[in-house]
Amino acid sequence: MLIRSSHKLPASSLKPTTTWTKLVACGLWLISLASATAQDSLNMRALGRWHDDALPATFFYDNTYNAVWGYARDGREYGIIGSTMGTHIIDVTDPTQPVEAVFIPGAYQGENVIHREFKTYRDRLYAVTDEGPGTLQIMDLTQLPDAAPVVYDSDALFQRAHSIWIDTTEARLYTHAGSSDFAIWSLADPDSPTLLLKPQLTVPWWGNVGLVHDAYEIGNIAYLNDIDAMHIIDLNNVAAPQLIGSITQWPQPGYNHSGWLHDNGWLYVMADETHGTDIKLFDVGDPGDIEFLDTIGTDLGPGSIAHNPCFKGDELHVSWYYDGYWLWSVADPNNAVLLGYYDTHPEPYDFSYKGAWGVYPYLPSGNVLVSDMQRGLYIIDISQALSVNGPSGAGRELRTWPNPATDAVNIGLPAGERGPFHLHLRDASGRLLNREVRRAGHATALQLDTRHLDAGTYLVEVSNARGSWTSRFIKTFAP
C-alpha cells in the first residue's frame, strides 16, 4: 500500500501542485492496515497507556475521553486528558508507568459530555467544556505532582466553549463556539480573565465569518476555522478588527474543523472533519493571496477522518480518529514524507467518530501524548520515526554553546543556509517565550541573551525559507 501526499484539482482560483509522498526509507515496508484485529504501527511504539475503566462513556459515540495537552515542571512531565467526568493530570515522567497525579471534577459531568479542551499559560491550566451548564476552570500547576488547586471556577464569563487557544505572546485567551461565536479575553491577570471583544456583537461585517469552530492565534493575528471558510483577522486593534485574508474554496472541501500555523509564519495546515478527506497545506505568507500547496492523506478508506493537526518545526503531527496518530515531515511542503504512525484504535471503522482525538508532541523528553476517545492516554516513542528522514534526523540539529549557559547562548547556523532567520524560544512546556527575525548576514552563529531566563531547559528553533532546525540548552546561574 502506497502512503502518499496527493490532491484533487482545486477551483481555478487556487494554485495546485502535483506531488507524491516518498516511500519511507531504512528498509521498512509499509504494513497494510486492512486487518481490523492487529494494532498496527510504523516506526513508533507505545511506551505506556493510562485509562480508567470506571469512567462512564457518552451516549453518542461511546467515548470516555477527549482532548489532550501536556505540561512539564521541575524535571517531571505530565499528560492532561479530559473525560466525561473532568480533567485528569497524569504523571508520565516514567512513560511506562503513567500515574494519575490529580483529578479535577468538571462543573458538568456525565454521559452527555463529549468535549473538553485545555491550554496552559504561566503555570495555569485553563479548562472548558461544550456541553451542559459548564464553567471556565483555572488550575494552579505549581504544586504538582501533589495538587493542582482550582483558583477560578465560574460561569460568569461563559458556560461553554467548543475550543480555546491562548496567544502566550499577547496574554490573550480565545474561545470558539459554545456560548458565543468567538470571543477574546485578556489574561493580564492569569487568574481573572476579562472580556476584550465579542465581534458578533459589535463588528458589522462579522456575519461573513459567523461561528468559529477552532482557530490558531499568534501575535494578534487569528487564523479562523469557521466550518465553510478560513478567515485571517488582524486583531492588533481589538476595537476595530480587520479582515486581511480568506479562502472559501479548496480541494476535497468539507467541514473546516481546525488548523495550525508553522513557526515559519507562512505554512498552514487545515483539517476538514469530513470522512474521506485529506488534510490541506496552504501558503498564507500573503493573506491577500492564499496559495493551496498540497493534500496529505492516509488512504485507508472512505471512513478515514482527520481531527487535529499540529506542527513541531517541520514535523506534522495528526490525530486521525480511526487511523490513529500519524507523523510526516513537511520540510518540503510539496513533497511530504511519511515518518510513521501508531493505530490507537485497531477496531473496524465506520462512518462515526472514534479513535485518536488529539496529539501533544512538545514534551522535553520528545515523547508524544495521544488521546484516544475510547482507550485513554497513550505515551508514544517516535525516535525511530524521526531517524528516517525527518526534521530531527541528521543535519537538523543546531549546535549551541556553552551548554549549560548563564548569560548568553551561541546558536550555530546551518552550513550553507542564508537568512533571514526566524528564531523562536520555548520553555520546557512548549510555551513560546520569544520570537524574532535575525538577518545574520555572513554570520555563522547567532547569540541569544539568557540573563532574563529562569533556570531550566529551553528549546530554540531557527528557520528560514528552506527549513527549520532545533536544539535544546540548559540555563543555569553562575556559582
Q: What is the 3-state secondary structure (H, E, C) of 108-124?
A: CCCCCCCCEEEEEECCE
Q: Round to whole Å and give the CA distance between 437 and 421.
A: 6
Cell digits for 353?
467518530
Amino acid at 456: G
Are 118 and 72 within 8 A, CB to CB?
A: no
The Cα-based distances of 124 to 72, 127, 142, 172, 424 in angstroms read 12, 10, 8, 13, 22
Tens-level pLDDT at each residue, the chain (479 residues): 223 233 332 332 333 333 333 333 333 323 333 333 345 899 999 999 999 999 999 999 999 999 999 999 999 999 999 999 999 999 999 999 999 999 999 999 999 999 999 999 999 999 999 999 999 999 999 999 999 999 999 999 999 999 999 999 899 999 999 999 999 999 999 999 999 999 999 999 999 999 999 999 999 999 999 999 999 999 999 999 999 999 999 999 999 999 999 988 999 999 999 999 999 999 999 999 999 999 999 988 888 999 999 999 899 999 999 999 999 999 889 889 999 999 999 887 778 899 999 999 999 999 999 999 999 999 999 999 988 754 433 345 677 888 788 899 988 887 667 788 889 998 877 788 988 888 877 677 889 999 999 888 888 988 887 777 888 888 888 76
All 3 cell numbers of residue 255?
467541514
Q: How many CA atoms lie within 13 A of 266 on its CB side?
A: 18
Q: Per DSSP, which regions of 34-91 are E strands?
A: 41-42, 45-50, 65-73, 76-83, 86-91
CA 151/CA 190 separation, integer angstroms: 10
Per the listing, cell 461544550 goes with 130
Contact residues for 4 (Cβ-Cβ < 8 A; gap 6+): 20, 21, 297, 299
On whether the CB atoms of residues 321 and 353 are closer than 8 A, the answer is yes
Longest Cα–Cα distance in the chain: 64
Q: Where are the alpha helices (DSSP H) in 369-472?
A: 383-389
pLDDT at 399: 76
Look at residue 204 and give its three-state secondary structure: helix
Beta carbons of 464 and 422 less than 8 angstroms apart: yes
From residue 92, alpha-carbon distances to 48, 69, 171, 346, 379 in Å are 9, 12, 28, 23, 8
CB 260 within 8 A of CB 310: yes
Residues 6+ apart with CB under 8 A from 156: none
Please tell me whether residue 83 adopts helix, strand or coil conformation: strand
Q: Considering only CA atoms, which of 361, 312, 317, 365 is closest in space to residue 77?
A: 365
Q: Which of 438, 391, 363, 275 minimizes the C-alpha distance to 72?
A: 363
Amino acid occupying residue 266: W
In 3D space, the residue among 181, 101, 180 whose CA is nearest the CA of residue 147 turns out to be: 101
For 259, the 3-state DSSP assignment is: strand
Distances (CA, A) of 348 to 193, 340, 352, 373, 472: 44, 21, 11, 15, 41
Say what the pLDDT of residue 362 is: 94
Backbone angles phi, psi at 205, to 5 degrees: -90, 5
- Residues written for the chain: 479
- Is the pTM here over 0.75, yes or no? yes
Q: How much is the pLDDT for 17?
A: 33
Q: What percent of the chain is helix, strand and coil (3-state, nearest 5)?
A: 5, 45, 50
User: Tell me, what's the pLDDT at 20?
Assistant: 33
Cα(43)–Cα(340) distance, integer angstroms = 5
User: What kind and span of H or E run contains 456?
Assistant: strand 456-464
Contact assessment for residue 121 and residue 73, using Cβ atoms and an 8 Å cutoff: no
Smallest CA-to-CA distance from 233 within 216, 250, 257, 249 is with 216
Contact predicate 267/281, CB 8 Å: yes
Assign 109 to helix, strand or coil: coil
Cell, residue 195: 472580556
Alpha-carbon distance of 322 to 96, in angstroms, equals 24
Model pLDDT, residue 442: 66
